[in-house]
Structure 1
Amino acid sequence: MAITVNLYYTGKGRSARKFAEEMESSGTAAAIRAEAGNLRYEYFLPMNDPETVLLIDSWEDQAAIDLHHASPMMGKIAALREKYDLHMRTERYIDAEAPDTEDQFIRK
């Protein structure tokens, strides 16, 4: 059962975007993507809020998330969050079987 966490990073002076750019350019995001159990690790920019960046972070299960949180990688992430003075809010989703009725609204 996959778990997805949406993390909203917010700062001032485009600091959230600078954080995401450094996560990518430093190879930290790529290293997280390579961790066992990671399914998705992508940053997005909300159109109506230039001071926020959305991270969609998906894992195979809670055990994979726990290993990630216990890894040295979390120290690097925490240091970057501090460097850019970011604040966060989160949403957590657990995958479930979607009813087939959703397909009628999806354009493929």
Structure 2
Amino acid sequence: MAFTVNIYYTGKNGSARKFAQAMIDSGIVEDIRAESGNLRYEYFFPMEDEETVLLIDSWQDQHALDLHHASPMMEQITQLRDRYDLHMKVERYISDASGDAALNDSFIRE
């Protein structure tokens, strides 16, 4: 079952944005996106909170995430988080394919 993890990275003096940029510049983001089972890995910036970065991280299943967590790149990510002195809040959402998605169509503009 697919799921999404939202991670809010919060720091001081722009450190969360610097962390996200370092993740991109180092190639770690592309490596994660290339991992088997990764469905989405994107950073977003809340408009009303310049000290927080939101990571939306989606995986095919728990096994894929477990493999990611066991990979050598997790040490690199941990080192970057420590370098930028970030704190984290994590939310986890399970994808729900039930229901009639067509009911939402009138609210969506493509």
TM-score scaled to structure 1, two decimals?
0.96
Q: CA RMSD in A?
A: 0.9
Q: How far apart in 2 are the matches of 1:68 and 1:35?
A: 8
* Structure 2, unpaired ranges of 5+: none
Given the alignment of the two structures, is residue 70 of structure 1 paired with residue 70 of structure 2, yes or no? Answer: yes
Normalising by structure 2, we get a TM-score of: 0.94
Runs of 4 or more, structure 1, over 3 Å off, are none
Does residue 28 of structure 2 align to residue 10 of structure 1? Answer: no
Ranges in structure 1 where 5+ consecutive residues have no aligned partner: none
Residue type matched to 2:90 in 1? Answer: T
Aligned-pair distance for 1:25? Answer: 0.5
> What one-letter code is carried by the residue in structure 2 that aligns with 1:75?
E
* Counterpart residue identity of residue 43, structure 1: Y
Aligned to 1:20: 20
2:103 counterpart residue number: 101
Q: For residues 103 and 73 of structure 2, what CA distance do their matches in structure 1 show? A: 40
Cα distance in 1, alignment partners of residues 40 and 73 from structure 2: 16
How much identity, in percent, do the aligned residues show? 66
Give the counterpart letter for 1:66 in structure 2: D
Give, in angstroms, the shift of residue 83 of structure 1: 0.2
Cα deviation, residue 105, structure 1: 1.1
Report how many aligned residue pairs link the two structures. 108
* CA distance in 1: counterparts of 2:104 and 2:9, whole angstroms: 30
Deviation at 1:47, TM superposition (A): 0.4
